[in-house]
Amino acid sequence: MTMTPKILAFAGSTRTDSYNKKLVKIAADGAIAAGAEVTYVDLRDIPMPLFDEDLEAQEGLPPNARKLKDLMLVHQGFLIASPEYNSSIPGVLKNAIDWVSRPAPDEAPLACFVDKVAAIMSASPGGLGGLRGLVHLRAILGNIQVIVLPNQIAVPKAYEAFHSDGTLKDAKQQVAVEQLGSKLATVVAKLNA
């Protein structure tokens, strides 16, 4: 029996009309077409306090951090679209990573990250499409033992890159993003066969 890859898709943005939410959904469609089961989550729907070890010591993992962590634990792959904020990743994405990286009692360190596979992408109004932020995201994920695919997508001038239905105006770019999702599904399936 063939293993069905389970992929969690999310953007490091909470803005309602986020370019990166649109982008990750395109990649998710590619993963689904390749046979993956994809769960999309919006970080706006699971707000978390700023990471604080005193808060953690007093109250434990916040409920929404636990919710995201539980989702990450049951998925083998991640599709992550991250905007670039001041040449790095947004605070909301870093904060989510910091919270879910905290080990629960009797849980291995970095349990929701070790040996998971991620595909990363970015859309930005700037001319580089968020490439500088992807460098930081790749480094963070690699350091917490996520296997990050070498392929990545950066969509520049995002304010003019999308149709009103969320698809990309550039057909080649649309296919490339779908293929990134498909590639993630294929790699996850092979690693978990």
- Rounded Cα distance, 23 and 18, in Å: 9
Cβ atoms of 162 and 22 closer than 8 Å: yes
Single-letter amino acid code for the residue at 15: R
Taking the CA atoms of 115, 30, 180 and 16 in sequence, report the sign of the dihedral they define.
negative
**Predicted TM-score (pTM) of this structure:** 0.96
- Read off the tokens for 39: 């769960």
At 105, the pLDDT band (50, 70, 90 cuts) reads: confident
- Per-residue pLDDT reduced to its tens digit, 78-92: 999 999 999 999 999
- Provide, rounded to the nearest whole percent, the portion of the chain with pLDDT above 90: 95
Question: If you write DSSP's letter for every residue of 147-191 in order, what string do you get?
Answer: EEEEEEEEESSGGGTB-TTS-BSSHHHHHHHHHHHHHHHHHHHHH
- Per-residue pLDDT reduced to its tens digit, 133-183: 999 999 999 999 999 999 999 999 999 999 999 999 999 999 999 999 999
For residue 104, is pLDDT > 90? no
For residue 3, is pLDDT > 90? no
User: What was the pLDDT predicted at 79?
Assistant: 98
For residue 1, is pLDDT > 80? no
Nearest to 8 by CA among 36, 34, 35, 33: 36
User: What was the pLDDT predicted at 2?
Assistant: 73
For 6-191, CATH gives 3.40.50.360
- Rounded Cα distance, 180 and 152, in Å: 7
